[in-house]
Structure 1
Amino acid sequence: MRVDVLGLQAFVSIAERGSFRAAASHLNLSQTALSHRIRKLEEALGTPLFLRTTRQVSLTAAGTTLLPRARRIFEDLGSALGEVRVETREGAEQVSVGCLPTIAVHCMPSVIAAFARRHPGIGVRVHDNSASEIADKVQSGEAEFGVTIVAANRWDLELKPVVKEPFVLLSHRSMPLAAAPALSWAQLQGEPLVRVSAETGNRILIDDALGPRREALSWRYEVQRVVTAVSLVRAGIGYAIVPQLALDALADGELVAVPLRAPAVTRTLGVVTRKSVPLRPAARDLLVLLSQALKRGVAARKDESK
C-alpha cells in the first residue's frame, strides 16, 4: 500500500485542531480540498477516521489508533530532513579527498594553503590511505575524489592519469651506494633492502616490473608503510625502493635518492572519481591545485636528477 502523505497530513491537522475549517486554514487549502484528502485516505483504509456533527469533529476508534502513529511518521520525517540539511550544509563547507600517504605529505600542505586563500570558508578532509581504501571511499561517496595509483579500475569509477613518477633507491648518505649517479637492479644484489608490504600498490608494481629477478635481491626487512621504510634507511639499516616523491616528503639532508635503471620502474598517479557524479566547484578547484602540485613535484625531482 502506498503511503498517502497528504492524507495523513490532513488527518493530523484536523485531529489536532478539532475542526475542518481550522485545519484547512493552517494547510492553506479549501475545505473542499481538505475533505477530498480525508475521504481518499478513509477509502484507502476502508474505515472512517472522524465522527462529524454540525458542532464538532471527533476521532473514531480507528482514528484514535492512527493518530499517534501518524504523528510519529511526521516526527521521524522531520528528523530525517533535518539531518539531511545538516549533512548538506556541512558537506558544502568541506571538501573530502582521498590520497596516498606520500602525496598527502608531499603535496597537501601547500595545496590546502592555496585552497584556503581561495575558499576561506571551506575546510578540507584528507583520507591518506592505501590505493584500495581510496577507491572504497570514493565509491561510497565519503571522498569526492581520490589521487591514487593508476591500476585495474572498478567498473563504477573513472580513473584519469595525471603524472608518471619513477621509483628510486633511497639511501643514507653514509652508505656505499649513495654516491652512485644511477644503479641497475643487478647492482643491488647482496645489498640489504627494505621491502614494503605486498598489500600496497607500490609493491605490486615493483614485483611485476622485475619478474623473477626480484628473487635474486636480498629483501631483508619488510614494513607496512613507506614512512617506516624511510625511518629504517635513516638509521642506516638498509636501502629502500620508494616513489620519488617520498624523498621530498619524508626525508631530510641525511638521505639521497639514486635513480634506478634496467629496468626503470614507474608508477602512474591519477584521479579517481565516481562515474556520472560531477564534482562540486570547490572540489574541482582543489583537484586542479593538487594535480598541478603533483606535476611540479615530479618535474622538479627530474631536473635535480639530471
Structure 2
Amino acid sequence: MRIDVLGLQAFVSIAERGSFRAAASHLNLSQTALSHRIRKLEESLSLQLLVRTTRQVTLTPAGTALLPRARKVFEELGTTLEDLRTTAREAEERVVMGCLPTVAMRCMPEVIAAFVARYGNVQVTVHDNSVLEIADKVQSGEAEFGVTIMSANRWDLELKPIVKEPFVLVCHRSMPMAGASSISWAELGGMPLVRISSETGNRILIDDALGARSETLLWRYEVQRVVTAVSLVRSGIGCAVVPKLALDVVSRDDIVAIPLRSPTVTRTLGIVTRKGLPLRPAARDLLDLVIAALHESIAD
C-alpha cells in the first residue's frame, strides 16, 4: 500500500489547527486543494477522518486514532532527514581512502601535506590495509576509493591501472652481489630468500610470473610485513624480494636494492572505486595527488 504523505500532512495540519482555512494557509495551499487531499486520503482508507461544519472541524473516532500515529510518522521522518543532513555535512568535512601500507608510507605524507594546503578544514582518513580489506571498505562505502594491487574485480567495483611497480632483491651491503646493477632469478638459486605472505597478493604475482621456476628457489622464510623482511636481511640470514616502493620507506644504510631480471616481475597499482558513483570534489583532488605521487615515486 502506498503511503499518502501529502494527505497525512493535510490531515495533521487540519487536526492541529481546527480549521481548513488555517491549515490551508499554513501549507500554502488553496482550501480546494486541501479538501482534495483529505478526500483522496479518506477514499484510500475507506474511512471518514473529519466531520466539517460551517463553524468547526471534528475528528471522527478513526481520525482520533490516526492523529498520534500520523504525528509519529512525521516526527520520525523529520529525525531521519536531519540525520541525513548531518551525515552529508560531516561527509563534506572528511575524505576516507584505503591504501596499501607500502604506498601509504611512501606517498601519503607529501600527498596529505599538499591536500591540507588546499583543504585545510577537511579531515583525511587513510586505511592502510591489505588488498582484500581495501576492497571491502570501498565496497561498503566506508572508503571513497582505494590504492591497491590490480587483481580479481568485484561486480560493483571498478579498477583503473595507474603504474607498474617492479619487485627488487634486497641484500646486505656485505654480500658479493651488492654492487651488481641487476641480477637474474637464475642467479638466486640456493640463496636463502625471504618473501612476503601470500595474503598481501605479492607472492601470487611472483609465482605467476616465474611459473615452475619459483619452486626451485630457496624460499626459506616468509613474513607478513616488509619491515620484518628487511630486518631479516639486515641480520644477514638471507635476501628478500619486495616491491620497490616498500624499500623506499626503510633506512638503507646497510642494505641495497638490486633490480631483478629474466623475467622482470612487476605488480600493477591501481585505483578502486564503486561503479557508477562519482567521487566528491575533495576526494577527486586527493586522488589526483595520489596518482601524481605514485608516478613520481616509481620514476625515482
Tell me the TM-score normalized by structure 1. 0.90
Q: Structure 1 pair 18/229, CA: closer, same or farther in 2 (3 Å)?
A: farther
Residue by residue over 1:273-293, the C-alpha shift from the partner in whole angstroms, topping out at 9 and shown as x without a partner, is: 233322222222212211111
Give me the whole-angstrom Cα distance separating, in 2, the residues matched to 1:254 and 1:20: 87
Match of 1:248 in 2: 248
Match of 2:76 in 1: 76
Match of 1:67 in 2: 67
- Residue 132 (structure 1) aligned with residue 111 (structure 2): no
Contact kept in structure 2, 1:157 and 1:274, CA below 8 Å: yes
Give me the whole-angstrom Cα distance separating, in 1, the residues matched to 2:175 and 2:69: 76
Contact kept in structure 1, 2:12 and 2:71, CA below 8 Å: yes
The CA deviation at 1:111 is 0.5
Match of 1:90 in 2: 90
* Identity fraction in percent: 72
Match of 2:50 in 1: 50
Contact kept in structure 2, 1:184 and 1:261, CA below 8 Å: yes
Aligned length: 300
Residue by residue over 1:160-184, the C-alpha shift from the partner in whole angstroms, topping out at 9 and shown as x without a partner, is: 2221111011223345543443222
- Secondary structure, counterpart of 1:97 in structure 2: strand
- Residue 106 (structure 1) aligned with residue 106 (structure 2): yes
Give me the whole-angstrom Cα distance separating, in 2, the residues matched to 1:91 and 1:46: 44
Contact kept in structure 2, 1:190 and 1:217, CA below 8 Å: yes
Q: Matches of residues 189-200 of structure 1 in structure 2 within 5 Å?
A: 189-200=189-200
* Stretch deviating more after TM superposition (200-209 or 189-198): 189-198
Give me the whole-angstrom Cα distance separating, in 1, the residues matched to 2:136 and 2:250: 26
Q: Output the aligned Cα RMSD.
A: 2.0
- Secondary structure, counterpart of 1:250 in structure 2: coil
Contact kept in structure 2, 1:247 and 1:256, CA below 8 Å: no
Contact kept in structure 2, 1:230 and 1:251, CA below 8 Å: no
Match of 1:123 in 2: 123
Contact kept in structure 1, 2:195 and 2:242, CA below 8 Å: no
Give me the whole-angstrom Cα distance separating, in 2, the residues matched to 1:73 and 1:227: 56
Q: Matches of residues 1-306 of structure 1 in structure 2 within 5 Å?
A: 1-175=1-175, 177-300=177-300
* Stretch deviating more after TM superposition (44-53 or 246-255): 246-255
Q: Structure 1 pair 233/68, CA: closer, same or farther in 2 (3 Å)?
A: farther
Give me the whole-angstrom Cα distance separating, in 1, the residues matched to 2:211 and 2:57: 84
**Structure 1 residues without counterparts, runs of 5 or longer:** 301-306
AA matched with 2:275: K
Give me the whole-angstrom Cα distance separating, in 2, the residues matched to 1:232 and 1:60: 83
**Structure 2 residues without counterparts, runs of 5 or longer:** none
